[in-house]
């Protein structure tokens, strides 16, 4: 299935953007490590970008999370996300709501996702899919709507994790509300205290590489990365309680060479 | 015909302006002996019919002409004073003058197109324009062919050799640009000719350039073509260039240049000097160059209106009223329209910092722009129709037309090369502090039909503290430009303005240039750098400004939506 998704998005990615360019995928931790979605914990916020990583750790059944990203210091473009996950077993379901954009041009989407995962000693495999209902306000006061299908997969063996996520694999509704397709292909290598990330993100405009490193020191994780072009450097820090249950908060800042800094934070709890 | 000891040597029959008082006839004694002119006479011939001679001077016993000397018979206002003052009524050609000796020998000069042979020798000389005399090309040399022997001469030289032994003259002075910007080099080509009999050795003669700033108050007295010989202060001599050897009749083009230290109107005088120059009156020629804008500046140009007449908007940048009467608008072909007092709807004094619109049909323009105050519209006729596109066959990037705004004295107050016109869109000036010629200082108006007599949509007012960036309207509808205006707060700064998508990728570089103080603006047409329309969505506008001489920069950001 991974290769089917790759093929679909490669084909879709050969043209120019036809509708709205979406903000970069990911939340605080992803932004701090060069847009590496694997740097974020599994859980509710993954429903927006990588539905294969919805399921929280095995011992937690419910998780709530929220995130906010303020691109380039502009309040009008700040993106807010809230999401919840319920994972009674190998299957997890999630519901998320995202909003960004100024009044009169606001973008909102409601995302419903489901994922399945299989965990074995030293390896893991997960698949997920999500349907998003998007709504765009227009200047006349009306709104246009569209729907789109997202999908993702993640595979782990030993210290290596490879993941692929594709958004808007299929879509319908008003053309101007349909999100443009994009995909993220990434790999992570676990060194123990540190984790290395390499990422490719692709949309109808082009492909951008990114990457970073995360250090875990007790409840604190320090993250650094870069993505481009134009190349933006990023730093982040996250605090979380030990174990699958508990709370987590992360903040990050990336610096665009011409547009200046963007800030992001996210927080969540699981039990 | 017998060889006369005395012959006609110069005849001045058509002074510039009113003829009265300046006409003269000069005789020269080419024999080695004095000649008594008793009984000699000068006749005027009327070429309209045969044998119409009328004597107006006859020599007396006191009229003695020494060897190689000249004898001038002329009117009372001739300088230096003639040897004999008599009333003269010579006419333009075809006419003639003859000198008759007591023995009946004659020397005839006929000029113009004659049909009666007694009025000329060989072939008649040309009929010279006003201000020129007819003079023998070589003093006293008579080959019995008027056309070959006589040449036009200006200024006339009563009592002096027609062609001195040494005479260096500036025969033409061309300012390569009549309107330059502050800091530009003013370049001129002066054509210097050796009009004397002797050659001028290398380094003996030189070309000089004097310059002097002119205030508006002094301009009326020293406009182009007036008072070119007024001595200039010695300290305004800016160029001295030695000349190579010049043989008689040869000429050379000398390139002269200087950089005016201040803006304004500059008078330039090119001179050619040589020792013992026998005709100093032809040593100088003047030119006028406008550095920076004149009293009125171009502010907006409607070269391709979709409805109504073409028009231009001008602004008064001086501290005093500027009378519009007599100003002209000129296109690349030199065709000029003139603002005339009394035209309907005209307002003919432009107050400081005020805008006035010039057009061929004020009533039609006011009808097209209902909010336009007719008192701010002046008629200019005949209107020099502005081209929308470059001439066929012109190189790529050529201007569609050239617009020159001139005050009554003919200087170029402002000039603009017009790019190909976007029908229905006017070209607006973004900043009055920046040079007119900078293409980046002009942009299509964000307002369909333009902003006649109103503040330009892409320009702004005085500097404001800090950096600011505004987008209007924030929602871009296809086909309607978005106006981006900014202020850096710096007196001078390097400014970059670009559009980005939500992922921070640059979509369009709109401005990358040195910015002047004050606010400025540019219109975005909804396209990316490749000219493709941007897809619907949210976009960012990024402004970066670095003050002149500074390392760090300041930034401002805004967003806009493409519908």
Report which secondary-structure segment, H or E, holds B70: strand B70-74
Residues in B lying within 8 Å of A, measured between beta carbons: 474-475, 496, 498, 500-506, 532, 535-538, 540, 542, 544, 555, 557-559, 561, 563
Across the interface, do B535 and A138 touch by the CB < 8 Å criterion? no
Distance between CA atoms of B524 and A143, rounded to whole angstroms?
A: 25
Q: Which pLDDT band, with edges at 50, 70 and 90, does A267 fall under?
A: very high
DSSP state for residue A32 in the 8-state scheme: H
From B538, B542, B555, residue closest to A77, measured CB to CB: B538
The answer to whether the CB of B472 falls within 8 A of the CB of B479 is no
Distance between CA atoms of B444 and B523, rounded to whole angstroms?
A: 7
pLDDT tens figures, B219-247: 333 333 344 445 555 457 888 889 999 99
pLDDT of residue A6: 46
pLDDT of residue A8: 53
DSSP state for residue B533 in the 8-state scheme: B
Distance between CA atoms of B527 and B508, rounded to whole angstroms?
A: 8
Determine if the peptide bond prior to A154 is cis (ω within 30°): no
Q: Kindly report each contact of residues B393-399 with a partner whose C-beta sits within 8 Å and lies 24 or more positions away, as own/partner.
A: B399/B332
Distance of residue A117 Cα from the nearest chain B Cα, in angstroms? 31
Secondary structure of chain B: what % helix, strand, coil (to 5)? 5, 40, 55
The answer to whether the CB of B215 falls within 8 A of the CB of B289 is no
DSSP state for residue A38 in the 8-state scheme: G
pLDDT tens figures, A240-257: 986 667 899 999 999 999
Determine the average pLDDT of the residues in A222-238: 96
From B535, B537, B542, residue closest to A259, measured CB to CB: B542
- Interface residue A21 vs chain B (CB under 8 A): yes
From A73, A105, A232, residue closest to B557, measured CB to CB: A73
Q: Which residues pair with B507 in a beta bridge?
A: none
Q: What pTM does this model have? A: 0.60
Give the residue among B190, B179, B365 at the shortest CA–CA distance from B265: B179
Across the interface, do B502 and A77 touch by the CB < 8 Å criterion? yes
Cβ contacts (< 8 Å) between B561 and chain A: which residues? Answer: 101-102, 104-105, 139
Beta sheet of B554-562, edge-to-edge order:
B475-476, B554-562, B537-547, B493-501, B506-515
From residue A181, alpha-carbon distances to A13, A53, A63, A148 in Å are 7, 19, 28, 9
* Closest residue in chain A to residue B561, using alpha carbons only: A105
From residue B188, alpha-carbon distances to B191, B207, B209, B261, B496 in Å are 10, 12, 10, 17, 37
H helices present in chain A, as ranges: 2-12, 28-32
Cβ contacts (< 8 Å) between B498 and chain A: which residues? Answer: 258
Across the interface, do B537 and A139 touch by the CB < 8 Å criterion? no
Distance between CA atoms of A250 and A236, rounded to whole angstroms?
A: 7
Q: Which pLDDT band, with edges at 50, 70 and 90, does A13 fall under?
A: very low
Distance between CA atoms of B216 and B151, rounded to whole angstroms?
A: 40
Cα dihedral B339, B341, B343, B344 sign: positive
- Interface residue A4 vs chain B (CB under 8 A): no
Distance of residue B431 Cα from the nearest chain A Cα, in angstroms? 25
pLDDT of residue A204: 84
* Closest residue in chain A to residue B476, using alpha carbons only: A139
pLDDT of residue B228: 45
pLDDT of residue A15: 43
Cβ contacts (< 8 Å) between A174 and chain B: which residues? Answer: none
Across the interface, do B535 and A17 touch by the CB < 8 Å criterion? yes
- Interface residue A19 vs chain B (CB under 8 A): yes
Determine the average pLDDT of the residues in A50-61: 80
Q: Kindly report each contact of residues B435-440 with a partner whose C-beta sits within 8 Å and lies 24 or more positions away, as own/partner.
A: B435/B181, B436/B181, B436/B293, B436/B297, B436/B298, B437/B181, B440/B511, B440/B513
Across the interface, do B537 and A20 touch by the CB < 8 Å criterion? yes
- Interface residue A74 vs chain B (CB under 8 A): yes
From B474, B557, B563, residue closest to A260, measured CB to CB: B557
Across the interface, do B504 and A102 touch by the CB < 8 Å criterion? no
Cβ contacts (< 8 Å) between A18 and chain B: which residues? Answer: 535
Determine the average pLDDT of the residues in A87-91: 88
pLDDT tens figures, A127-179: 999 999 999 887 667 888 999 999 999 999 999 999 999 999 998 998 888 88
Q: How many residue pairs bridge chain A and chain B with CB atoms within 8 Å of each other?
A: 88
Distance of residue B307 Cα from the nearest chain A Cα, in angstroms? 30
Question: Is beta strand B179-180 parallel, antiparallel or unpaired with respect to B284-291?
Answer: parallel
Cβ contacts (< 8 Å) between B536 and chain A: which residues? Answer: 19-20, 176
Interior/surface letters A88-109, b for 16+ CB within 10 angstroms, e for the rest: eeeebbbbbbbebbbeebbbbb
Distance of residue A134 Cα from the nearest chain B Cα, in angstroms? 13
Determine if the peptide bond prior to B188 is cis (ω within 30°): no
Instruction: Provide the token pair at A229.
Output: 């072009």
CB atoms within 10 A of CB B236: 16
From B475, B498, B555, residue closest to A105, measured CB to CB: B475
Give the residue among B117, B285, B307 at the shortest CA–CA distance from B191: B285
pLDDT of residue A226: 98
From residue B384, alpha-carbon distances to B309, B310, B350, B365 in Å are 12, 9, 22, 16
User: Across the 563 residues of chain B, what is the mean pLDDT of every consecutive 10-residue run?
Assistant: 84 82 93 92 91 92 91 92 90 91 93 89 92 90 93 88 87 85 90 89 88 60 42 69 89 92 86 86 84 90 90 89 89 87 60 89 90 86 88 83 88 88 85 82 82 80 75 75 83 88 92 75 85 88 87 87 83
Distance between CA atoms of A8 and A129, rounded to whole angstroms?
A: 15
DSSP state for residue B550 in the 8-state scheme: -
Cβ contacts (< 8 Å) between B537 and chain A: which residues? Answer: 17, 19-21
pLDDT of residue A40: 93
pLDDT of residue B225: 39
Cβ contacts (< 8 Å) between B531 and chain A: which residues? Answer: none
The answer to whether the CB of B41 falls within 8 A of the CB of B57 is yes
Give the residue among B243, B13, B245 at the shortest CA–CA distance from B126: B13
């Amino acid at each position: 299935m991974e290769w089917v998704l790759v093929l679909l998005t490669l084909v879709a990615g050969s043209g120019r953007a036809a509708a709205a360019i979406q903000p970069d995928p990911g939340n605080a931790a992803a932004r701090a490590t060069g847009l590496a979605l694997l740097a974020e914990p599994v859980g509710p916020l993954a429903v927006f970008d990588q539905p294969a990583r919805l399921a929280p750790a095995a011992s937690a059944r419910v998780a709530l999370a929220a995130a906010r990203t303020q691109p380039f210091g502009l309040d009008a473009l700040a993106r807010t996300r809230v999401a919840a996950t319920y994972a009674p077993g190998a299957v997890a379901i999630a519901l998320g709501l995202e909003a960004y954009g100024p009044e009169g041009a606001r973008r909102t989407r409601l995302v419903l996702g489901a994922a399945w995962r299989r965990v074995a000693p030293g390896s893991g495999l997960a698949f997920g899919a999500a349907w998003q209902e998007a709504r765009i306000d227009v200047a006349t006061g009306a709104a246009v709507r569209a729907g789109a299908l997202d999908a993702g997969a993640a595979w782990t063996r030993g210290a290596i994790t490879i993941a692929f996520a594709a958004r808007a694999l299929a879509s319908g509704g008003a053309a101007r509300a349909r999100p443009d397709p994009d995909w993220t292909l990434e790999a992570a290598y676990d060194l123990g205290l540190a984790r290395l990330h390499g990422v490719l993100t692709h949309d109808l405009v082009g492909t951008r590489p990114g990457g970073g490193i995360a250090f875990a020191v007790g409840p604190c994780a320090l993250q650094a990365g870069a993505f481009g072009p134009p190349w933006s450097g990023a730093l982040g820090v996250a605090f979380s309680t030990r174990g699958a249950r508990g709370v987590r908060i992360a903040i990050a800042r990336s610096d665009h060479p011409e547009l200046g800094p963007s800030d992001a934070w996210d927080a969540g709890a699981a039990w | 015909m017998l060889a006369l000891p005395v012959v006609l040597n110069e005849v001045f029959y058509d002074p510039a302006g009113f003829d009265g008082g300046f006409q003269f006839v000069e005789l020269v004694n080419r024999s080695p002996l004095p000649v008594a002119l008793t009984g000699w006479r000068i006749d005027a011939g009327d070429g309209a019919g045969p044998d119409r001679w009328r004597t107006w001077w006859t020599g007396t016993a006191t009229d003695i002409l020494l060897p190689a000397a000249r004898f001038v018979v002329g009117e009372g206002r001739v300088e230096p004073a003639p040897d004999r003052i008599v009333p003269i009524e010579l006419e333009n050609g075809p006419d003639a003058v003859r000198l008759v000796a007591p023995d009946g020998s004659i020397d005839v000069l006929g000029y113009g197109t004659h049909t009666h042979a007694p009025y000329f020798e060989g072939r008649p000389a040309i009929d010279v324009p006003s201000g020129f005399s007819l003079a023998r090309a070589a003093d006293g040399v008579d080959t019995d062919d008027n056309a070959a022997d006589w040449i036009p001469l200006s200024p006339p030289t009563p009592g002096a050799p027609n062609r001195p032994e040494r005479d260096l003259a500036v025969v033409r002075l061309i300012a390569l640009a009549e309107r330059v910007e502050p800091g530009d080099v003013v370049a001129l080509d002066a054509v210097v000719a050796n009009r004397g009999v002797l050659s001028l050795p290398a380094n003996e003669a030189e070309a000089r350039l004097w310059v002097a700033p002119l205030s508006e108050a002094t301009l009326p007295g020293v406009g182009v073509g007036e008072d070119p010989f007024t001595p200039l202060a010695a300290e305004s001599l800016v160029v001295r260039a030695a000349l190579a050897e010049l043989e008689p009749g040869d000429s050379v083009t000398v390139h002269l240049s200087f950089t005016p230290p201040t803006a304004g109107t500059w008078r330039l005088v090119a001179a050619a000097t040589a020792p013992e120059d026998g005709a100093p009156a032809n040593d100088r020629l003047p030119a006028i160059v406008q550095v920076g804008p004149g009293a009125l500046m171009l502010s907006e140009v409607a070269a391709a209106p979709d409805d109504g007449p073409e028009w231009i908007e001008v602004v008064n940048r001086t501290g005093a009223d500027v009378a519009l009467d007599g100003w002209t608008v000129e296109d690349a072909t030199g065709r000029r329209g003139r603002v005339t007092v009394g035209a309907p709807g005209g307002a003919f004094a432009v107050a400081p910092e005020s805008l006035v619109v010039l057009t061929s049909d004020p009533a039609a323009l006011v009808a097209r722009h209902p909010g336009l105050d007719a008192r701010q519209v002046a008629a200019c006729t005949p209107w020099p129709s502005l081209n929308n596109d470059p001439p066929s066959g012109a190189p790529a990037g050529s201007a569609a037309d050239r617009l020159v705004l001139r005050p009554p004295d003919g200087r170029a107050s402002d000039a603009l090369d017009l790019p190909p016109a976007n029908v229905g869109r006017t070209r607006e000036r973004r900043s009055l502090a920046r040079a007119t010629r900078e293409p980046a200082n002009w942009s299509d108006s964000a307002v369909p039909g333009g902003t006649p007599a109103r503040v330009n949509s892409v320009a702004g007012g005085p500097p404001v503290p800090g950096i600011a960036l505004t987008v209007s309207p924030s929602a871009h509808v296809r086909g309607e430009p978005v106006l981006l205006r900014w202020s850096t707060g710096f007196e001078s700064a390097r400014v970059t303005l670009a559009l980005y998508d939500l992922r921070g990728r640059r979509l369009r570089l709109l401005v990358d240039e040195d910015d002047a103080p004050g606010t400025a603006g540019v219109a975005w047409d909804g396209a990316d750098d490749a000219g493709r329309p941007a897809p619907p969505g949210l976009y960012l506008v990024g402004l970066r400004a670095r003050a002149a001489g500074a390392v760090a920069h300041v930034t401002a950001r805004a967003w806009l939506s493409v519908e």
